[in-house]
Amino acid sequence: MIEFYFATGNEHKVAEANAVLSPHKIKVKKLEGIEKLEIQHTNLEEIAKTALTLIVPNTDKLVLVEDSGLFVHELNGFPGPYSSYVFETLGVDGILKLLNDSKSRKAEFRSSVSFGTKGKIFATFSSVSEGTLTTQAKGDNGFGFDPIFVPMWASKTFGQMDLNEKIVYSHRSKALKKLALWYLNAAKTNTLEENAIVVSQAPQNK
């Protein structure tokens, strides 16, 4: 079993990564003892990459960082990269209120996953899950905006799905699958470092 270390405080994200990656014989553990720093930027890839840049100089573990957000079409993409702050301040009800009079309830979740080790960023992958927002919260599963988001081709919210259903549709799962397929091929063909961005020298004896 290969081990990836996920720099996140969110256990739901770790569980989702394990559900997606375990069929590929990759086990995901939470990276302990390192704080993930999140810069302000409109681009999730840049946020994920920058967070990883601050972690990889100090580890020889295979680390992944993920940044995600809910982009509501009628609100010109808000809350987007500010989703966790908006979730903490306005919450699910706040977003529903903002959409009270709007015609469109279209929204999408986006996810960017950045991956590397030993002072290098190997690759970054992004994915989207399109869907619609409900008029009221439904379901207790998951986290964040799960109870108000119905992905395209589904008839219930992420909050009403168990993890194995959510990973069929989720933005994060799609990005993680891209990572797994790339990693397994790159490891086999010895091309992991082919497009690596060097952010620092590899740590000595760590």
Euclidean distance between CA atoms 28 and 111, whole angstroms: 17
68 binds ligand IMP (CB under 6 A): yes
- H/E stretch holding 128 reads strand 120-133
Whole-number minimum distance, CB 146 to ligand IMP, in Å? Answer: 4
Binding mask 119-148 vs ligand IMP (x if CB under 6 A, - otherwise)?
-----------------------xxxxx--
Burial-class residue 171 by CB neighbours within 10 Å (0-12, 13-18, 19+). buried
Question: In 3-24, which positions are buried (b, 16+ CB within 10 angstroms) versus exposed (e)?
Answer: ebbbbbebebbbebbbbbbeee
- Looking at the Cβ atoms of 90 and 186, the one nearer to ligand IMP is 90
SS3 153: coil
- Tell which one of 49, 118, 120, 172 touches ligand IMP (CB under 6 A): 172
Euclidean distance between CA atoms 17 and 11, whole angstroms: 10
- Looking at the Cβ atoms of 91 and 203, the one nearer to ligand IMP is 91
108 binds ligand IMP (CB under 6 A): no
Q: Which residues share a beta bridge with 128? A: 110
146 carries an active-site annotation: no
6 binds ligand IMP (CB under 6 A): no
Stretch that binds ligand IMP, among 19-27, 62-70, 100-108, 180-188 (CB under 6 A): 62-70
109 binds ligand IMP (CB under 6 A): yes
158 binds ligand IMP (CB under 6 A): yes
Helix axes 11-21, 171-188, angle to 10 degrees: 50
Interface contacts to ligand IMP, rule CB under 6 A: 10, 67-70, 83-84, 87, 109, 142-146, 158, 170, 172
Show which residues are catalytic.
67
